[in-house]
Structure 1
Amino acid sequence: MAKQAKKIWIVLDSSGFGGIESHVEQLALGLSSLSNHVTVVFIQNHAQHPLEKRLQSHGITCVLLDGRIVSLWQAIKTHKPDIIHTHGYKAGILARPIARMMGVSCASTFHSGEKKQGRLHWYDWLDRNTAFLANHVYAVSTPILDTLPCPATLTNNFVDTQQLKPSKGEKIAFVGRLSQEKAPERMLNLATRYPSLHFDIFGDGPLRTQLEAEATENVTFHGAQESMTSIWPQVGLLVIPSKAEGLPMVALEAMARGIPVAAFDVGGLNRLIEHGKNGWLLEPNDMDGMAEVVHTWCSGNEHDKKHWRDNAIDTIETRYSAKAVVPLLLQDYAIFAK
């Protein structure tokens, strides 16, 4: 099975580290662990990229191009990958037609379902309306699947659970981009309701200055993290107050370490979270309910917390781990690469 897709290229355009980049990292490691030759191709060189550094530390080959379609064309023609798997709009728009013309099998994963504004709206439209050029299209949540105008498959994001240790931390944390769709201002709302508790925000983005100006003293902003490895052991509850999501990698990364997630029912989170069992899933915008969840978690005894932590880990191991998902992906590769 793996021999039919020995040389796999993962193609993306990226200048920072977020959910797509985390997915690509896990995908590259998972495919490589099953004896495939994996190369991660950055469409454009945005200087030293945190993902490039992390991949290279694991022995994954990275190629940085100059953003021109002719450069991608020449690279594919020269190296002749068996499979190209694209992530993000620019990678899909450029790589799919080239792969089709060269007879290279191509897959595309769509990670985002929220509406874009301005120029991004047209890039997103073009990405979705050229998705049919791929041999196989994936979406990480049902709402994203519903936006695609071609046949596509619902797929799970996943994380490598090997060597992960359960967290026994107590921090109440937000981890993500400080932007409108992530609704980080809702963490400030929780902080005003519970002045005796402390709330930690890990991430950066366009709303940071405004949020810091409005935050109470029981909120700490830690900025963007090159790696969350040393942070996760300090976290006890992850709050995802987003207005829109796919199937966020940050939720999987937390739950794989036994950190329950409190989130609103957006995107694919209802496939992941079982309310009261491995986390809490609330109706969108129900801030009273979210505040009650914070109280529930803080007042839980050790037996309660162990129950939530163990169920979170079990959910990821069973359905969202690399060992559960990557073999299924390789089966798809083998089918459409024939």
Structure 2
Amino acid sequence: MRELKILHIDTGRVWRGGQAQLLALARALRERGHIQTIAAPAGTPLAMRARSEGFPVVAPRMRDVRRCAAEGGVQIVHSHSARGQNLAWAATVGMEVIRVASRLVAFEPRHPRVHKWKYAFTCEGVIAASEAVASVLRKCGVPDERIEVIEAGVDIPGELPHRERARFGLADEHFVLGHAGAFTREKGQDVLLKAFLLLLGKAPEARLLLAGAGPLAEAPDIQGLIQASGGRAVWLGEMEDMGAFYAALDLYVMPSRSEGWGLAALEAMAYGIPVAASRVGGLERIVEEGLTGWHVPPDDPPALAEAILDARSDRARLRRMGALARARAERFSSARAAERTEAFYVRLMRRKHSMIDVKT
């Protein structure tokens, strides 16, 4: 496989699943011998982490993107956010590059016709994070031949980190739940907190760690639910050391109302943690009911509470499920996602070149 020159674009200013996916993909593509630059806002977690890992970083401005693409001989411009896709198209109009867009969310767009135009005419191909995401694209009229389902992968830790619960104020006898993600309505942190309050009467040793930031993190209803737990639910804010976070848990909870894929659940599984998840989007594929975790209806605190109590009821079974969860996560590695992404890039390049040959 010959070397490709790739420019990734992301305009997000916080660290979420999309930024984690981009950086994991870039690492794996670098292992496959490709040259990459990342366009991300200065001072953002993505820009700082990318630079610390040796990736060139440029500002996501039209003149910088166009200069980078032209002077760097870029062949692939891969946008990882909606605004990034707009920028990729506007900055490279008239250039002989392949534009690829990643679509991560599975909720219905407010303007399907705009959605169709955006994904059918401003890029050569769309990477859908799951079949649920691809289904939404098709409903909007995006041609099926432009869509490729590539499930995002995670880096599998070679060795599991040592459990250090004391740093979180926890003891070995506690039954520890965890959740990490952007605090938005779609992620359902309120559902988890309501379920947690429901189960405390039967599981007084339960504890809940919440990591992440977002528009609802400090909302009165979220903070009120946390306070109602009497100190047994703790909001940690954004975490740098996610390995230590996962190592402290007995069960990871993904209470999403909508989910394109569910990378955080997969990351927890890579650390050997079973998952209780809503039956939505990619989570139905990631989590195997009864083997690596539990499925519950979305937006249903009583059902989620029952699933958590079932997990708590048999610790030996929970450990066996954790081992199966880690093995399951290995099937969705970053290396595999990069291999499929590379193949999609090459297929799009060949398709475009064949079309040029036909026209000439």
Measure how far apart 1:269 and its partner are: 1.0
2:39 match: secondary structure: strand
Q: Is the 8 A contact 1:167 1:232 kept in 2?
A: no
Q: Give 1:321's match in structure 2, choosing from 325, 333, 342.
A: 333
- What letter is aligned with 2:134? L
Counterpart secondary structure, 1:231 = helix
Partner of 1:222: 236
Give the Cα separation in 2 of the matches to 1:167 and 1:145: 39
Query: Equivalent residues in 2 for 1:56-205 (5 A)?
Result: 56-65=51-60, 67=61, 69-96=62-89, 98-99=91-92, 101-115=94-108, 126=114, 128-132=116-120, 133-148=122-137, 149-150=141-142, 151=144, 152-165=147-160, 171-195=176-200, 196=204, 197-205=206-214
- Can you give the 5+ residue segments of structure 1 that lack an aligned partner in the other structure? none
Worse-matched range after superposition: 204-213 or 26-35: 204-213
The Cα of 1:164 is off from its aligned counterpart by 4.7
Aligned residue in 1 for 2:216: 207
Amino acid across the alignment from 1:107: V
Equivalent pair of 2:5/2:76 in contact (CA under 8 Å): yes
Compute the displacement of 1:253 (Å): 0.9
Letter in 2 for 1:24: L
SS state at 2:253 partner: strand
Deviations 1:196-240 (A, max 9, x none): 121111122222331112322121111122342332211221111
TM-score by structure 1 length?
Answer: 0.88
> Which residue in the other structure is 2:30 paired with?
32
- For residues 55 and 248 of structure 2, the distance between their equivalents in structure 1, rounded to whole angstroms, comes to 29
Displacement of 1:58 in angstroms is 2.1
CA shift, 1:147, in A, is 2.4
Q: Which amino acid aligns with 1:25?
A: L
Q: SS at the partner of 2:244?
A: coil
Measure, in 2, the Cα distance between the counterparts of 1:261 and 1:125: 37
Distance in 2 separating the partners of 1:227 and 1:95: 32
Structure 2 residue ranges without an equivalent (≥5): 166-174, 351-360
| Aligned equivalents of 2:291, 2:103: Cα separation in 1 | 29
Q: Tell me whether 179-188 or 159-168 shows the greater mean CA deviation.
A: 159-168
1:52 to 39, 47, 53: 47
CA–CA distance in 2 between the matches of 1:141 and 1:336?
20
C-alpha spacing 1:11/1:127, structure 2 compared with 1 (3 Å): farther
* 1:220 alignment partner, SS class: strand
Query: How many equivalent pairs are there?
Result: 324
Q: Distance in 1 between matches of 2:344 and 2:320?
A: 36
Residues of 1 paired with 2:134 and 2:250: CA distance? 32
Instruction: Summarize the Cα distance change of 1:162–1:39 in structure 2 as closer, same or farther, 3 Å threshold.
Output: farther
Query: Counterpart of 2:277 in structure 1: which amino acid?
Result: A
Q: Aligned-pair distance for 1:126?
A: 4.4
| Aligned: 1:236 with 2:241 | no
1:236/1:260 contact within 8 Å kept: yes
**Sequence identity percentage:** 23
In structure 2, relative to structure 1, the CA distance for the partners of 1:164 and 1:34 (3 Å cut) is: farther
Larger Rg: 2
Counterpart-to-counterpart distance in 2, 1:199 and 1:126:
41
Structure 1 CA distance for aligned equivalents of residues 52 and 64 of structure 2: 26
CA 1:214/1:317 → structure 2, altered by over 3 Å: closer, same or farther?
Answer: closer
Q: In the alignment, which residue of structure 2 is the partner of 1:13?
A: 11
Cα distance, 1:29 vs structure 2: 0.7
2 CA distance for matches of 1:290 and 1:272? 18
Q: What is the match of residue 287 of structure 2?
A: 273
